[in-house]
Amino acid sequence: MTGGNAIRGTRVGSGPMGESERGESAPRHRVSYWCANNHESRPSFALDAEEPESWDCPRCGLPAGRDQAAPPAPPRNEPYKTHLAYVKERRSDADGEAILAEALAKLRAQREGDF
Ligand SMILES: [Zn+2]
């Protein structure tokens, strides 16, 4: 039974402060990001990974940047578009396409007439 004790001993003895036990053997570093609401998020990245320019704030979802003094501007805010607004928009899109197609057809017809 001395063999079992020896294995156990080396396992406990390995790693300072037991850090290896928490699975943080891969070197990582934390990067701070700030969103427009001044929320700080600190995701960690592997040391050899390139940290992204921006990070989505986990609290409010706005893009967050590395520079606390100049966080990225929030995306254009069209927050609660109603269903009706969507329908109108889509319909006017369709109308626009129809008008365009019609205009092109007329244009072609005119050109053909000119020649
Ligand atoms: Zn935020």
pLDDT of residue 11: 52
Instruction: Report pTM.
Output: 0.46
For residue 76, the CA-to-ligand 1 centroid distance in Å is 15
For residue 81, the CA-to-ligand 1 centroid distance in Å is 22
Residue spans of alpha helices (H) in the chain: 2-13, 83-114
pLDDT of residue 96: 78
Q: What is the per-residue pLDDT across 57-111, written as a single tens digit (0 to 9) for each?
A: 999 999 999 999 999 998 776 556 677 777 777 777 777 788 888 888 988 888 7
Both tokens of residue 59? Answer: 């609290």
pLDDT of residue 33: 97
